[in-house]
Amino acid sequence: MKNDFEREMVICMNRFFTENKKKGFAYRLKQSHFNTQYVDIIVDSLDPAYYMAIECKSLNGTRLYFTSNFHKDKDGVHQVDNISGFVKYTGRRGYLAVEFRGQGPKNEAYLMPWNMVLAFFAKQPSIPVEEFQNCIQLERVPGGYRLPGLNPL
C-alpha cells in the first residue's frame, strides 16, 4: 500500500505541473538496503517554490504517530531528524504527505508543510487527522489524487 501512495503522489505532483503549466518534475527515489533514502519523493524545479522533498505515509486510523509511523536509522537517529537535515542542507521545501485509509467512503490525503511537522514532533507524540485537515487537502480523482493548489511561499 505504501508504494501505491508514493506512486499516486508522483502522478499527483506531475499532474499539478501539467495542469498549471509550471516547470517541474516529481520522481520517486528507489529504496536500497545499502543506501540511505532521506525522503520518498523529490521534486525538481528551477522555481524555488516547487523545489521540494516529500515524505509519504499511508496509514489506517486517525492519527500519525512519531514512534510507530516513523523509524530510527542504524545509529538511532529518528527519521524526522534525518528528513529535517536533508531539507535544510538541500534548500528544498519539505512536506509530509499522509493518506488516511478507510476514512469515510474514500481515503483522504493531505500535504503538511515540514515546519508544521517539526512543531508537532517537538511537543506531542502524534498528529491527529484534524490537524492535517487544516493543511493542503488532495482531491480524490480516478487513479489517485489531484493537488488543487500549492501556496508557493
The mean predicted confidence, pLDDT, of the chain is 90
Element at 144 (helix H, strand E): strand 144-146
DSSP letter at 133 equals: T
pLDDT-based confidence at 149, cuts 50/70/90? Answer: confident
Average pLDDT, integer, range 100-114: 86
CATH number given to 2-146: 3.40.1350.10
pLDDT at 144 over 90: no
- Between 86 and 103, residue with greater pLDDT: 86
Question: Distance (Å, rounded) from C-alpha 61 to C-alpha 128?
Answer: 9
Grid coordinates given for 39: 525522503
Decide: 23 and 49 in contact? Cβ < 8 Å: no
Look up the pTM and report it: 0.92
Average pLDDT, integer, range 122-136: 95
Average pLDDT, integer, range 29-44: 81
Average pLDDT, integer, range 35-46: 89
Average pLDDT, integer, range 16-30: 93
- Ordered DSSP codes for 31-66: P-TTS----SEEEE-SSGGG-EEEEEEEEESSEEET
Question: Distance (Å, rounded) from C-alpha 80 to C-alpha 148?
Answer: 27
Question: Distance (Å, rounded) from C-alpha 52 to C-alpha 45?
Answer: 8
Query: b/e per residue, 10-34, with b = 16+ CB within 10 A?
Result: bbbbbbbbeeeeeebebebeeeeee
Can you give the pLDDT at residue 65?
96
Question: Distance (Å, rounded) from C-alpha 147 to C-alpha 66?
Answer: 25
Decide: 56 and 5 in contact? Cβ < 8 Å: yes
pLDDT-based confidence at 1, cuts 50/70/90? Answer: very low
